[in-house]
Chains A and B, each alone.
Chain A
Amino acid sequence: MIRFALTLAVLLSASLPARAAVDIKEVTSPGGLSAWLVEEHSIPFTALEIRFKGGASLDADGKRGAINLMTGLIEEGAADMDAQAFAKARESLAASYEFNVYDDSLAISARFLTENRDKAIALLRAALIEPRFDTDAIERVRAQVLSGIASDTTDPGHIASSTFDALAFGDHPYGADRAGTAESVAALTRDDMLDAHARLLTRDRLVIGAVGDITPDELGTLLDTLLGDLPATSAISVPEVDFALSEGVTVVDFDTPQSIAYFGHYSGLKNDDPDFFAAYVVNEIFGGNGLDSRLTVEVREKRGLTYGIGSFLVALDQTEMILGQAATANERMAETIDVVRDQWRHISETGVTQDELDTAITYLTGAYPLRFDGNARIAGILVGMQMDDLGIDYIATRNDRIRAVTLDDANRVAKRLYRPEDLHFVVVGKPVGLDASN
Chain B
Amino acid sequence: MLRPLAFVLPLAAAVPATAAEITNFTLDNGLQVVVLEDHRAPVVVQTLWYKVGSADEPRGKSGIAHYLEHLMFKGTEKFGNGVFSDVVAANGGTDNAFTSQDYTGYIQRVASDRLDLIMEMEADRMTGLILTEELVAPELDVVLEERNQRTENNPGALFGEQRTAAQYLNHPYAIPIIGWKHEVSALTLDDALDFYPLHYAPNNAVLVISGDADPDEVRALAEEFYAPIPANPAVGERDRVDEPPQTAARRLTFEDPRVAQPYVVRTYLAPERDAGAQEDAAALTMLAEVLGGSAATSVLGQKLQFETQTAVYASAFYSGQSLDDTTFGLIIVPSEGVSLAEAEDALDATVAEFIETGVDPEQLDRIKLQLRASQIYAEDNIGGLARRYGEGLTSGLTIADIEAWPDVLQAVTGEQIVEAARNVLDRKQSVTGWLKAPDAMPAAAEEVSQ
Contact = CB atoms under 8 A, between A and B. Distances in A.
B369 A91 contact: yes
A113 B11 CA distance: 9
B7 A253 contact: no
B294 A2 contact: no
Contacts of B110: 370
B333 A43 contact: no
B82 interface: yes
Interface stretch (B163-171, B254-262, B400-408, B410-418): B254-262
Nearest to B10: A115
B444 A154 contact: yes
A115 B43 CA distance: 28
A22 to B, nearest CB: 9
A32 interface: no
Interface in B273-329: 294-297, 302, 305-306, 309, 312-313
Given A1-B97, A290-B89, A292-B85, A146 B336 contact: yes
Interface in B1-31: 1-2, 4-5, 7-8, 10-11, 14-15, 18
Contacts of B313: 144, 147
Contacts of B259: 154
Contacts of A45: 376-377, 380
Given A89-B4, A154-B258, A113 B148 contact: no
A42 B91 CA distance: 28
Contacts of B339: none
A291 interface: yes
Interface in B143-177: 143-146, 148-149, 152-153
A86 B336 CA distance: 26
B65 to A, nearest CB: 13
B86 interface: yes
A252 B4 CA distance: 52
Given A43-B18, A151-B261, A292-B85, A140 B69 contact: no
Interface string B414-450: 0000000000000000000000000000011011111
A34 interface: no
A327 B91 CA distance: 29
A184 interface: no
B148 A94 contact: no
Interface in A293-313: 300-308
B410 to A, nearest CB: 14
A438 B90 contact: no
Taking each of A2, A115, A373, which has the highest tally of chain B beta carbons within 10 Å of its own beta carbon? A2
Given A366-B93, A370-B92, A436-B449, A119 B7 contact: yes
A98 interface: no
B149 A258 contact: yes
A390 interface: no
B362 to A, nearest CB: 8
B139 A304 contact: yes
Interface centre among B14, B111, B373 (most CB of A within 10 A): B373
A364 B82 CA distance: 19
5 contacts: A292-B85, A302-B138, A307-B142, A359-B90, A438-B450
Given A1-B97, A252-B448, A327-B149, 11 more contacts: A92-B4, A92-B7, A116-B11, A140-B309, A154-B259, A256-B153, A306-B142, A363-B92, A366-B91, A370-B109, A375-B380
